[in-house]
Structure 1
Amino acid sequence: MDPWIIPLCFRAEHQAWDTRPMVVSIAWATFVTLLWMGNLLSHKIAYGMHREVDLQEEVIVITGGTSGLGLLIAEVYGMRGATVAVLDTKPLESTEARGITYYQCDVSDKGQVSRVASEIERDVRIQLGTPTVLINNAAIVVGKKLLDMSVDEVDRSLKTNLLSHFYTVKTFLPGMINNETGGTIVTVSSVIGHLGAAQLSDYAAAKAGVTALHKSLAAELKECPEIKTILVTPGQLSTPLFHGVRTPNSFIAPIVEPIDVAKEIIKAIDLGLSDHIGMPLYARWVDWYNVLPVGLQKIARSVSGIDRGMKTFIGRKATESKEKDGSPI
């Protein structure tokens, strides 16, 4: 039942149908319904029909899945009976309890990606076949100004945050295309890819590239309607990746909890849909920023504080060292 029906029914108990308050309420309810139908139609035109998803038959590959958003998704699917393969450089504890298989892999190294793909197919091909869901979630943050970064740090960042997507898609997509039930590719990008930010030049460039890659790939896959693509562009996530960063404006850009993003990703995968997930609200409208006059863009950056956010950055390495020392994080 649509949420507007209940208040409309209550108003109908005390108002005649031809009174002004009732007419306004009906008009508003009609408007909301038309917007909902228009959004539904727009989604169907943009993304097509859904694919059938049976978790018992799905093989889900998650890069960067030993912490944060990736770990949440892996644990949910592991507990629900799907076959989950986590690729990460950081070890995963208690994999049996979570129903997850861990593969040590640096996704910035195409050789390691190819090797692990062979291991995954060897482990699951007999029972289920090739991977059907790829979630490209792995990321690193250097958190330095461009001139303070070494060339090696730039290379490492771009390989992990951008080139790894090419490696994994090239590796796993052919199997999805050959699979009768198709597959789903999830690309975890960021609003920073649209906006850029001080001390995030490498990360912003990579995420802009990831978003462009996703859109280009989706266009190429129109000939394969059973392959679904999901683009995720969240704001600042409350994960170890951005440990220490304090959002300078919690009203305009509140910190996003990974569990909320995970719910939306899992929902889209389960329904077999292509989608664009942007959280919080401003992330869905961030493209309009580039339409503003450059003067207003500068004012918006100053008000939002986007270029001050990384001044308190600590990062994942600090949290890992505290874990080793037994200190609270």
Structure 2
Amino acid sequence: MSTPFTTPPQRDSWFAPLSIDLLVKVLRTSFFHPFIAWIVPLCFRAQNMHWDATPMLVSIGWAAFISLCWIFGTINNRLAFGLPREVDLSEEVIVITGGASGLGLLIAEVYGMRGATVAVLDIKDMENGEARGVTYYKCDVTDKDEVARVAAQIEIDLGTPTVLINNAAIVNGKRLLDLDIAEIEKSLSTNLLSHFYTLKAFLPALARSEVGGTVVTISSVIGQTGAARLTDYAAAKGGITALHKSLAAELRESHPQIRTVLVTPGQISTPLFYGVQTPNAFLAPVVEPVDVAKEIIKAIDNGHNAAIGTPLYARWIEWYNVLPLGVQAVVRRIAGVDTAMKTFVGRNGTKMSEKNGGLIQGF
């Protein structure tokens, strides 16, 4: 039986929106931006300060250092991700799994309003009933035959798919000892095997598309760190991260016109993890779906290969596994990663008991 459960209290205060991500964003557009950095020595020169004065030399050195960092960053991205493909939204057919709600629905609505052709695959009806430019297909992504059938129908109805966004996910939120085999199989089928099914169904179409294509994989930092009550989810997310990296390596050799985008977010403010409270809103803020959607849409629009991590700690999470094991244990306790799921609630606002089913939907 599920027990009534109220949402954990929110941290309402004047500094609630303040986070390390916000500070870094401000610094990147001010103190750490080459344009701003070079304004400082120019201002000194406008005051008739000599070129060999200490403030002038320090400011020039700082501006040169920041400029070199930006140049090296650009070169690094070019070496890592190559040249972008040309994207014309009027020619794009975008397929989104788990797109009936949350992050998937947001991306679908944005592209639908911008004139792209969008197909949403989901086992449940769309939250908003319908959206401009979006065609809904009822599809269980854990059924490979159904995925293949819907893929063929999309090509007939909408044209050759050019973008595949694998977004469908399920969360059980139980300890391994309380999961039954059927729940484990359902979780792995939805969170991992479905990626193989959709890739096998849609990747051939992306490969023969004249405008190229883009594959977007929505993973999670949990795939790198693991977490209590998320054994099945973490195993699947770690698997799709490895799947994506291997696929990207294959496509660079066989189909260089196809771009790949790996998204590894932290906790997103969607019903998938409803009720889970971040232990530190400053260092590990909950990410709004619109912020993740903007990064994904930017990568697709620009035709880039990309690796998207948000918030800030998600971009550095792989370094966690380099730390000594003792330090890792301390970090886990401080972060509260293994206790966060204790406040996890279902979509109906009831606490998930050990015998309840999981929450199934897209991010």
Shorter-chain TM-score bucket reads: over 0.9
Q: Helix, strand or coil for the counterpart of 2:121?
A: strand
| 1:190 aligned residue (220, 227, 249) | 220
Deviation readout 1:74-113 (Å, 9 max, x if unpaired): 1110000000000011211556542210001111111111
Which segments of 5 or more consecutive residues in structure 1 lack a partner in the other structure? 320-329
What percentage of residue pairs aligned between the two structures are identical?
64
1:119 aligns with 2:153: yes
Partner of 1:18: 52
| Candidates 308, 314, 321, aligned match of 2:345 | 314
Q: Secondary structure at the match of 1:56?
A: helix
> Are the equivalent residues in 1 in contact too, given 2:109–2:131 (CA < 8 A)?
no
2:96 matches 1:90: no
Post-superposition CA distance 1:20-62 (Å, at most 9, x none): 1121111111111111111111111111111000000000000
Equivalence for 1:40: 74
One-letter code aligned to 1:270: D
Tell me if 1:178 matches 2:208: yes
1:106-255 to 2 correspondences below 5 Å: 106-125=140-159, 130-223=160-253, 224-255=255-286
1:55 to 66, 78, 89: 89
**Following the alignment from structure 1 to structure 2, what is the Cα–Cα distance between the partners of residues 229 and 84?**
18
Q: Tell me how far 1:3 sits from its aligned partner.
A: 3.8
* Structure 2 Cα separation of the partners of residues 244 and 123 of structure 1: 39
Tell me how far apart the structure 1 counterparts of residues 84 and 131 of structure 2 sit (CA, whole Å): 32
Residue 256 of structure 1 deviates from its aligned partner by: 0.6
The 1-side partners of 2:229 and 2:133 are apart by: 38
1:8–1:168 Cα change, 3 Å: farther
Q: For residue 256 of structure 1, what is the aligned residue in structure 2?
A: 287
RMSD: 1.5
SS in 1 for 2:169: coil
1:229-249 deviation line (CA, Å, top 9, x unaligned) = 000000000001000101112
- Taking the TM superposition and a 5 Å limit, the aligned residue runs for 1:284-299 are 284-299=315-330
Q: 2:120 & 2:44 partners in 1: Cα distance?
A: 53
Residue by residue over 1:145-186, the C-alpha shift from the partner in whole angstroms, topping out at 9 and shown as x without a partner, is: 001111111111100000111111111111111112210000
For the pair 1:268 / 2:302, whether they are aligned, the reply is no
Alpha-carbon contact 2:261-2:305 (below 8 Å) kept: yes
Give the letter for the 2:54 counterpart: R
**What is the one-letter code of the residue matched to 1:222?**
R
Shift in alpha-carbon separation, 1:11–1:109, aligned structure 2, 3 A: farther
Q: Which amino acid aligns with 2:66?
A: V
How many Å separate the matches in 1 of 2:116 and 2:124? 22
Checking the alignment, whether the CA contact within 8 Å between 1:136 and 1:165 is kept in structure 2 is: yes
In structure 2, the CA distance between the partners of 1:213 and 1:271, relative to structure 1 (3 Å rule), is same
Q: Aligned residue for 1:281?
A: 312
SS of 1:303's equivalent?
A: helix
Separation in structure 2 between the aligned mates of residue 170 and residue 86 of structure 1, nearest angstrom:
17
Q: Is the 8 A contact 1:77 1:84 kept in 2?
A: yes
Contact 1:48 1:225 in 2 (8 A): no
Stretch deviating more after TM superposition (96-105 or 73-82): 96-105
Q: Distance in 2 between matches of 1:209 and 1:292?
A: 22
Q: Would you say the 8 A contact 1:239–1:258 is kept in 2?
A: yes
Structure 1 or 2: more helix by fraction: 1
1:226/1:95 CA distance change after superposition, 3 Å:
farther
- Counterpart of 1:2? 35
Going from structure 1 to structure 2, the CA distance change for 1:135 and 1:296 (only over 3 Å counts) comes to: same
What amino acid does structure 1 have at the position aligned with 2:98? Answer: G
Alpha-carbon distance in 2 for matches of 1:83, 1:308: 42
Matches of 1:9 and 1:141 in 2, distance apart?
A: 55
Number of aligned positions between the proteins: 315
Taking the aligned partners of 1:198 and 1:132, their CA distance within structure 2 comes to: 37
Q: Output the amino acid matched with 2:193.
A: L
